[in-house]
Amino acid sequence: MREVKKRTPDRFIFRGECLSRSRKIFNKNYQLFLLMLPAVATTFLFDYVTMYGVQIAFKDYRALQGIWGSAWVGFKHFERFIGFSKFWTLIKNTLTITLYSLATFPIGVILSLFINEMRSLKYKKVVQMTSYAPHFLSVVVIVSMIQLLLGRANGLVNNVIYLLGGKRIDFLSIPEYFPSIYVWSGVWQNAGWNTIIYIAALAGVSQELVEAAKIDGASRLRIIWHINIPAILPTVIILFILSTGGLLSLGYEKIILMQNPLNRPASDVISTYVFDIGISGREYSYSTAINLFNNVINIIIIVCVNKIANRLSGVGLW
| Tally of CA atoms within 13 A in the half-sphere of 66 that contains its CB | 3
Band the pLDDT of 9: cuts 50, 70, 90: low
Choosing from 74, 100, 119, the residue where a domain stops is 74
The model carries a pTM of: 0.83
Residues found in the chain? 318
Could you please report the per-residue DSSP string of 220-231? HHHHIIIIIHHH
* Cα(283)–Cα(131) distance, integer angstroms: 41
Q: Examine the domain organization and report whether 157 and 245 are in the same domain.
A: yes
Q: Examine the domain organization and report whether 117 and 255 are in the same domain.
A: yes
- pLDDT for 16 equals 63
| Tally of CA atoms within 13 A in the half-sphere of 173 that contains its CB | 8
The residue among 289 and 252 whose pLDDT is bigger is: 289
Containing domain of residue 104, as a range?
75-313
The residue among 19 and 90 whose pLDDT is bigger is: 90
Q: Examine the domain organization and report whether 59 and 201 are in the same domain.
A: no
Q: Is the residue at 127 inside a domain? A: yes
Q: Examine the domain organization and report whether 220 and 259 are in the same domain.
A: yes
CB 235 within 8 A of CB 204: no
Q: Examine the domain organization and report whether 61 and 157 are in the same domain.
A: no
Choosing from 24, 53, 74, the residue where a domain stops is 74
Band the pLDDT of 19: cuts 50, 70, 90: confident
CATH of the domain at 105: 1.10.3720.10
Q: What separation in angstroms does the CA of 299 have from each of 44, 53, 135, 318?
A: 20, 19, 27, 14
For 270-303, the pLDDT digits (tens) are 999 998 888 778 888 999 999 889 888 888 888 8
Task: For the chain, give the mean pLDDT.
Answer: 87
Domain count, the chain: 2
- pLDDT for 112 equals 92
Band the pLDDT of 1: cuts 50, 70, 90: very low
Q: Is the residue at 318 inside a domain? A: no
Enumerate residues 6+ apart whose C-beta is below 8 A from 258.
Answer: 143, 146, 172, 178, 181, 182, 267
Q: Is the residue at 263 inside a domain? A: yes
* Cα(27)–Cα(32) distance, integer angstroms: 10
Q: Examine the domain organization and report whether 55 and 182 are in the same domain.
A: no
Q: CA 77: distance to chain centroid?
A: 27
| CA proximity to 282, closest of 91, 90, 120, 61 | 61
Q: Examine the domain organization and report whether 247 and 286 are in the same domain.
A: yes
CB 205 within 8 A of CB 231: yes
| CA proximity to 95, closest of 263, 237, 266 | 266
Q: Examine the domain organization and report whether 52 and 121 are in the same domain.
A: no
Q: Look at the alpha carbons of 48, 56, 81, 258 in this order and tell me if their dihedral is positive or negative.
A: negative
Question: Which amino acid, one-letter code, is at 232?
Answer: I
Q: Examine the domain organization and report whether 126 and 61 are in the same domain.
A: no
The 8-class DSSP code of residue 5 comes to P
Q: Examine the domain organization and report whether 203 and 249 are in the same domain.
A: yes
Strand partners, 72: 59
Question: Which amino acid, one-letter code, is at 253?
Answer: E
SS3 284: helix
Q: Examine the domain organization and report whether 81 and 67 are in the same domain.
A: no
Q: Is the residue at 303 inside a domain? A: yes
**Residues of the chain above pLDDT 90, percent:** 36
Q: Examine the domain organization and report whether 243 and 263 are in the same domain.
A: yes
Q: Is the residue at 299 inside a domain? A: yes
The residue among 13 and 103 whose pLDDT is bigger is: 103
